[in-house]
Amino acid sequence: MTVPFFPPDLFEDDRQQLMDLVHDIGTAPEQRFLLGEHTARFEEALRDSLGAADVVACSSGTSALTLVLHAMGIGPGDEVVVPAYGCAPLANTVAGLRATPVFADIDPWTIVADPDQVERSITDRTRAIMPAHMFSVMADMPRMSEIARRHGVRLVEDSAVAQGGVLDGRPAGTWGEAGVFSFVQVKTFGTAGEGGAVVTMNPELARTVRSLRNHGQRERFVYPRTGYNSRFDEVLAAFQLHRLRGFPDLLERRARIADHYTERFTPLAERGVLPPPPGRNGRCFYVYSLLVEERDELKRYLADRGIESHVYYPLPLPHQAAFTRFAPAGRRWPHAESASRRQLAIPVHPRLTDAQVEHIADTVCAYAGLSRSR
């Protein structure tokens, strides 16, 4: 049995619908391929499902972060506190605006930014804190919200991996002044290409983001500000609208697989294989990530038995050559460093069969048994 990490047939059930949409939009009289009626309807559907003030679709999750930070006026001389462990856009988007990313260490188990470390990183130059949800765990947004209020800084929620996650009854993306989603194909609501969205409770911020995503236009060919080309594709907007009604079922399948893994793997913690915390509150099930003392050994063991796995972020952000200039000399981020050595993701996508799920779980447990016997 071979189990791929990313399913090659992710959109097989919707293939004909996608082909029909390409034809219909490509032959429509208006020839509107960007920011048309489908994008507007998609934004409205997301806005209503989230209870947000507005949703602005754009070209990617990374672009969404840039648009938000730019709209907030963050730039040279400003600091933004970000997790020391995560995807490059956390630091790239800040540095791209000539502001300074300040790295805070993470919780050693959940792998999300530690609120205490975030608060210790705030200075009189801090303009925003930007926690990120990671893998299958949402950041501690109640604490982050309280820290942002107490220090008078803005809260940007990097929820790129977390669409569909709910913490204490509140959807991911709605905790901060703005949140973002990514629709790249491997995300929980990924599409057949690239895309993203800004979610906000601030209508004025949304208006600015809307202008920025389309070269700074207020109306056609009128530019009150400079901006970006971050427009959303009409075919993908229509495709995501079609898929939106099936999204809860896809999430539930991911959640059931994750529940089963956690039940099987929780007893393995003393054998050097640590699963994420149990439960569904504050979970997003984008990636099921283990922390493994002998990570590379388990990766090889899985591969030998036909199971693909994936190492995310083999270096903490402040150790990446692109960002070392933002890392103070002598500073350490021990939990981020440990996660980089130990993290290993196993398949959790909704196309997995029950037999494949059992094969993965049995193989990880077998490895842990061998590991203990050595």
Which residues form the catalytic set?
A: 187
Whether the CB-CB separation of 316 and 333 falls below 8 Å is answered with yes
Q: Which residues contact 314 (CB under 8 A, 6 or more apart)?
A: 340
Give CA–CA dist 32/37, Å, rounded.
9
Q: Which residues contact 316 (CB under 8 A, 6 or more apart)?
A: 84, 85, 103, 333, 336, 337, 339, 340
Q: Which residues contact 285 (CB under 8 A, 6 or more apart)?
A: 136, 164, 165, 188, 251, 254, 255, 257, 258, 348
Phi, psi (deg, nearest 5) at residue 370: -65, -40
Q: Which residues contact 16 (CB under 8 A, 6 or more apart)?
A: none
Give CA–CA dist 42/235, Å, rounded.
11
Q: Which residues contact 136 (CB under 8 A, 6 or more apart)?
A: 258, 276, 283, 284, 285, 286, 287, 288, 289, 348
